[in-house]
A and B are shown apart, each in its own frame.
Chain A
Amino acid sequence: MNDKLKMKILRYAVVAWTMIPFFAAAQKLTFTPQWTPQSQFAGYYAAAEKGFYRQAGLDVDIVHFSTSLNAVEMLKSGVSDIITCNLMEAMKQRDAGLPLVNILQTSMQSSMLIISHTPLDKGWLSLNGKRVGRWRAGYSAIASLVSREQELQIEWVDFLSGINLFMSGAVDATIAMSYNELFSIMETGTNVAENQLIRFADSGYNIPEDGVYVTESFFLKNREAVVRFAEATRKGWLWVKDHPEEATDIVMSVVRKHKIPTNRHHQRMMLAEILRLQCLPGETEPAFTLPEIQWDYLNALLLETGDIHKKIEYRNFIKQ
């Protein structure tokens, strides 16, 4: 074998190597959003539907949580590779020993609010002595913290989900998401005035929510695929921002497939609110990265609520 031939083979080898992503079988990934199908996850559905994952060499299977397992449990059990999770929940899990790492932050603001049957003219103080619904599944720790900080006597009523508890009049107020329950309540023909709401974002607890997470070990083993996933997801969300109606149609097709009782009006409104929450206050473009500047405050808050027991390092948690 002469040198010329060697060079030739080497050249072909180099070309073949660079072509690997195109010929190699796409990497399979299982993704689970933290709730039933709705516009909250429009970006992932769009990335799949529009082929952004495929273009990134990924074969993403979107599997929703079952009645027996939630998203975190699905990740733990190895059913899912990638999940979405609320930031506080993710930090809590990490503190509890599940080494989650954030590969993309889709929410920059808190959607949580308290909605009351009667006007809340004195803000949090108006809730003193009132019966207020909160989710049993979590996310409500911050509400409890606020009530402790403000020294309020609130009778918290834990419930599963939905608006029936509030609508039945069994509670005076309830915790709700600005992108979901608020609209559901409005859809019952109830007029909701701004003074019936307390938005956590306006009360100094504007804590980012949804993010995309993998386990640390999965991240180390599949770093490249995870990065491609995050990138394709980001692309999906940006496409949704530019095509809200088409995106709502995609969401509705997923919703119908999963027989989720909802309607397009609701999902369209939810999408608009989700897109708003993706931007920092006063901005119009999504950031997709958790600002490091909030990190110490967040840790302090969770240490205080008892959700975490020691500070989590930003660089260990954020792997973007």
Chain B
Amino acid sequence: MEFLGQDKREGLGRKAHSRFVLLLLILVSVLLLLSSLYSAQASVFQKAREGVIDAASPVLELLSGPISYVNGVVGNFSDYFSVLKQNEALRAENAELRQWMDEALELREVVAAYDGLQTYSAPPDAQPIDAYVIGESNDAFARSMLVNAGRARNIEVGQAVVDDKGLVGRIVDTGVSASRVLLLTDIQSRVPVYVEGANVEGILVGNTRAYPTISFTQSSDPVEVIPGQRVMTSGAGGVLPRSVPVGVIEGQSNDDIVVRLYANYARTRLVRIINYEFPAIGEIVDDAVPVVDENTAPQAPAEG
């Protein structure tokens, strides 16, 4: 292939490739990396991230449309092999859900009765914002998605992102018209959770695997969990709302409690950003109305 590699000095680097510039830029990159280690939230880096998200979002939005169409037609190839089995499973699930629906309707009446009581004030309503996934980092270690809603639609850093199954992640960067969602599987992801029925709170730690693990900080005693128990956000730290479903306990492997997420990142397309505001303490004092927090709020009447 003698035709290749003709030095015609036609490229961008007319003055030949300089080793000095190359080494200098390597040094600059390494310094950038080191400085971003110590100040990841520095305003310069943050501005750059947000600027690039905003600049790229129209292009990503344009291209992600056809891509998701192709994904939808060809991508879900495992469906072709399991249509019958899926159908059966769905029918069983439907029957089960019907029972749940009856129960939910009953409970709705009970809750309405409690709502009528003077002593109860409802927790503030969340204002969900719907958005499409327009980007996803195809990186072995960085797990995040870009959604087409930003500051212009009141998205703020820290808000929870859910899809129809459960928690997807939380907002970490917000541009004007697009934002970045840090997925639960990213190594930087830390989400306070509790295990339903096990009476323990912990932190869900991402490790780039499909199944994140729970690490416990409160108790050093060995924690007993049963596979199948639900994992929900605990709301600790006052960022994410309480009781957003996250996943179920998959099992335990060398001291790690492994969680199978409800969210299926290979199919996440439409998400909902929960614009949740925790009740402020000042307001409660002003109102002088005993506010029942969610832990002690009227639960489903177990006795009747």
Is the pairing of A and B real? no
Q: Which residues of A does B touch, CB under 8 Å?
A: none
Q: Which residues of B does A touch, CB under 8 Å?
A: none
